[in-house]
Amino acid sequence: MTSRTRRCPRVVCGIVAAVGEVDVQLCREMLARIKHRGPDDTGEIRRGNVWLGHQRLSIMDVAGGHQPMTDTERTTYLVTNGEIYNHRHIREDLGHDLFETGSDSEAALHALIVDGPAGLARLRGMFALAFMTEDGDFLVARDSLGVKPLYWARRDDVTLFASELRAFDPADRPLVESFPPGHCWSPNGGLVRFADAVPARVRPARRAEEPGVWDEALLKSVRETIVTAVENRMMSDVGIGVFLSGGLDSAIVAAVAAEYARRHNQPLPTFAVGAPGSSDLAAARIVADYLGTEHHEIVMSKEDARAALPKAVRAIEHYDPSLVRSSVPNLLLAEYASKRVHAVLTGEGADELFAGYSYYHEEPFTDPDALQAELVRTVKELHHLNLQRCDRTTMAFGMEARVPFLDRDVIELALSIPPEHKLVTPEKKLLREAFEGWVPEEILWRGKEQFGDGSGAKDVLEDAVRTSPDVRAADGVELRTREEAAFYSIWREELAGIRSESTLGLFATT
């Protein structure tokens, strides 16, 4: 790294972009609507028929982290949201002399400068980005899993992009669609896939002759791959914590993070939330005591849950009951944690990779081939559901959530394991055995419990929906329960104008 390189934080932010007949005032209004994603710094630039805007949370090196980012000749510009985990390798490949800051985003900038759209294949991480040149070239892209959100609205005169639905003007909301993960778009090249959430080559290595019987080599491979994924997400100049639900997945993440923190002489804050006496709070406390973390508990009263309910629906831009139930405690947790750390690790994705949900163990998924297909499907659909909740509840308070189980290497390894091994009981037995000794025994073998249930959110929210509208079809959406109708009414009020079939498909439930 050259002497002119400045240290720079990874970027927690929101982006807006437009290409075509640009209305600068409209673009600024869009950016203002997502200021919560990065309340400390606003950047914008227009070149010809392209406009880029960026909202940033300034953690350190305010000057070096400002976006839109540009090269030394000021001929290319980039706004991005997320992290490029392999930015150091990209620097090695491209040459350190190209770089002026330590920002992982600058690695994306130079990858695109050197290779054009093909440079996207270099990037490992979670990101949504928009890139333009002085000559009028323009490119937008989203990571293969859709960990970071991106939406677009295509009008005849202009194409608009933003990190959240709420950014779009009400008049444009009927046109809004989710930008597909693993794709890039340019005015000349159109929509092109550059990466798959689950690469086509990922297939189970073999059929398991003895389901539930595996050797130490497989356990070691699972353990080491997950450890590496967690440690890659611990590298930061800012405080990092862990959302600790008390379940297996977050306990594993916390255990690896705690070991990393000890080696680097760093504290590790952990955060748990639940109703008084909830099982999640008790289990999280056991894990925190075992690991010796700086533990924080948020005890959620019925009044807290009721007050947070409309905020949660608005934040996640969703009305699915199970997602809303988990979002209420998540929002309260994020609000508290954001005052103490700038990023958190979560256990998202482990259930989809290792068959943790109970329905995976019911017909028709007791057939190994059917289970494998369902696991692949649900991993690909995470950006519509759990990842949307994960991003929005944390970014509502300018804090970033990182998801180590959804590292590319973890996904490829987990989905190459014979599905028969995932049908044995207890669920996720292989994952449990891989981390024996890392977490307390009573947590290692604790049964699966949905976060909304274990936290007590489901119970404390029951009263809030007893007076909700009757179940009915609305705007082309079949509302299945009184609870869903209540959540939909909040969602619709916040995002009035989003009625098109393509957009409502963003909220399809499983």
Identify whether 426 is preceded by a cis peptide bond (ω within 30 of 0): yes
> Strands 343-345 and 400-402: what pairing?
parallel
Q: How confident is the model at residue 466, as a pLDDT?
A: 64
Q: How confident is the model at residue 172, as a pLDDT?
A: 94
Which residues are CB-contacts of 354 (< 8 A; sequence separation ≥ 6)?
A: 414, 422, 427, 428, 430, 431
Q: How confident is the model at residue 62, as a pLDDT?
A: 45
Q: Domains along the chain?
A: 13-193 (3.60.20.10), 216-447 (3.40.50.620), 464-510 (no CATH)
Q: How confident is the model at residue 417, as a pLDDT?
A: 95
Q: What is the pLDDT of residues 62-101, one digit of tens each?
A: 455 678 999 988 899 999 999 898 988 999 999 988 888 7
Three-state SS at 178:
strand
d(CA 270, CA 285): 10
| pLDDT at 451 > cutoff 80 | no
Q: Which residues of 141-170 are buried (b: 16+ CB within 10 A; e: fewer)?
A: bbbbbbbbbbbbbeeeebbbbbbbbbbbee
Lowest mean pLDDT among 142-151, 346-355, 446-455, 492-501: 492-501
Q: What is the pLDDT of residues 286-312, one digit of tens each?
A: 999 999 999 999 999 888 998 999 999
d(CA 403, CA 465): 32
DSSP string of 453-491, one letter each residue: HHTSHHHHHTGGGTTSPPP-EETTEE--SHHHHHHHHHH
- Among 147, 150, 163, residue whose Cα is nearest residue 191: 150
d(CA 183, CA 75): 24
Task: Assess contact for 342 and 238: CB atoms under 8 A.
Answer: yes
DSSP string of 188-233, one letter each residue: TTEEEE---SS-TT---SS--SSTT---HHHHHHHHHHHHHHHHHT
Three-state SS at 10:
coil
| pLDDT at 269 > cutoff 60 | yes
Q: Between these two residues, 279 and 291, which has the higher pLDDT value?
A: 291
Q: How confident is the model at residue 470, as a pLDDT?
A: 60
Q: Is 317 left (phi over 0), alpha (psi -120 to 50) or beta?
A: left
For the chain, give the percent of residues with pLDDT over 90. Answer: 68
Distances in Å between the alpha carbon of 311 and those of 31, 121, 318?
A: 20, 37, 11
479 confidence band (pLDDT: 50, 70, 90)? confident
Identify whether 364 is preceded by a cis peptide bond (ω within 30 of 0): yes
Q: How confident is the model at residue 306, as a pLDDT?
A: 87
Q: At what angle do helices 482-494 and 302-316 cross, to 10 degrees?
A: 60
The catalytic residues are 13
Mean pLDDT of 453-460: 67
Mean pLDDT of 120-146: 95
d(CA 476, CA 29): 29
Task: Assess contact for 374 and 89: CB atoms under 8 A.
Answer: no
Q: Between these two residues, 66 and 183, which has the higher pLDDT value?
A: 183
Q: Which of 40-44, 275-279, 365-369 has the highest mean pLDDT?
A: 365-369
Three-state SS at 335:
helix
Q: What is the pLDDT of residues 360-412, one digit of tens each?
A: 999 999 999 999 999 999 999 999 999 999 999 999 998 999 999 999 999 99
Q: How confident is the model at residue 11, as a pLDDT?
A: 47
Look over the chain and give the mean of its residue pLDDT values, rounded to a whole number.
88
Q: How confident is the model at residue 467, as a pLDDT?
A: 59
504 confidence band (pLDDT: 50, 70, 90)? very low
Q: Is 194 left (phi over 0), alpha (psi -120 to 50) or beta?
A: alpha
